[in-house]
Structure formats: structure tokens, C-alpha cells
Structure 1
Amino acid sequence: MSKQQACQAEACELQACLNKNTYAPEKCDDQLRKLYECCQRMYDSKTGDAANGGNESTACPMPSVVKRWLKDHPASGGKG
């Protein structure tokens, strides 16, 4: 899979969910988490080659946004 396609499936699932739930985007939290976790895995696998493109994807926000969102929205861990 090319860099540009990384996490594309997750981004498409999120977009479809948002289109379906226009007035209730909170119903798409699972898809958003999947996208950001995919992006984080991609960034974690980075080989330090940022000058030559590194690990990037058109589906992912910049690394600091992903990291902050995941920190601010910890996984529930099966609470309930």
C-alpha cells in the first residue's frame, strides 16, 4: 500500500458515517477512533525519513493532532 493510501479505508468509513449521521456526528466516534489509531500506527512505524516524505497519508491529520486526540479520548477499556 502506498503512503497516500494508508488509512484510506478508515477515512472512507468515517466519511460514510458522517454523511449518514449529519445531525449526530457523535455516532461516528468508533470510526474516528479507528482512523486515528490507524494514523498513529502509521506514524509510529515512521523510519525517520520525513525529509523524503516519511510516513504520510492524505487520510490522516498531522501527527500532533492524532496524538492529542488519542490522549484526550482514551479507549474505554470495556467499561460499562
Structure 2
Amino acid sequence: MSSDEPGCQAEACALQTCLNKNTYSPDKCNERVKQLYLCCQRFYKETDDKGESTACPMPRVVERWLKDHGGGAKSK
């Protein structure tokens, strides 16, 4: 991940662009949401859950979302 921008910022921006384009219809942006959460999972794994990014929810929220939506592997 780039050190000059917060972790997963590009994915968060892509999600925001999708939501703006689709008049805030999250169902049309499901793949972007998943990509953001997978990125956040990698980010937290790389930082031992100590990294901070305005683009990512807390680690336990990321893990729960991925568990509930059938994506990603456990980070620990």
C-alpha cells in the first residue's frame, strides 16, 4: 500500500464514485463494497490490526461483514 495515502483510499473513492453514479443504490455497488472490505482486511493483516485508515471500518466490523457476506479469509 502506498505510504502517502491512507490504506484502501482508492477503493473507498471507487465506492463513493459508484454510489454517486447510481444515486446511492448500494445494491448496484456490491462489488465495490466487497473490494473495499477485502482491501481493509489485507490492510489490517499487514499492520497486525494496528493500522488506521479513514477508508476502513474497525477490524472487527470488517471481519463480521466479510463473514456475513461470504468473502475473504480470516485475517488471524
Q: Distance in 1 between matches of 2:58 and 2:42?
A: 13
Question: Tell me, which stretches of 5 or more residues in structure 2 are unaligned?
Answer: 72-76
Normalised by the size of structure 1, how large is the TM-score? 0.77
Change beyond 3 A, Cα 1:44–1:23: closer
- Larger-Rg structure: 1
Give 1:33-48 correspondences, 5 Å limit.
33-47=34-48
- Partner of 2:16, secondary structure, is helix
| Partner AA of 1:35 in structure 2 | L
What is the count of residue pairs matched by the alignment?
A: 70
Question: Tell me, which stretches of 5 or more residues in structure 1 are unaligned?
Answer: 49-53, 76-80
Change beyond 3 A, Cα 1:3–1:38: farther
Q: Give me the CA root mean square deviation.
A: 1.8
Q: Distance in 1 between matches of 2:24 and 2:47?
A: 36
Match of 2:62 among 53, 63, 66: 66
Q: Distance in 2 between matches of 1:6 and 1:60?
A: 8
Change beyond 3 A, Cα 1:33–1:70: same
Measured against aligned partners, the alpha-carbon deviations of 1:13-55 in whole angstroms (never above 9, x if no partner) come to 000000111252201000000000000001111247xxxxx31
- Deviating 4+ runs (over 3 angstroms): none
Identity of aligned residues (%): 60
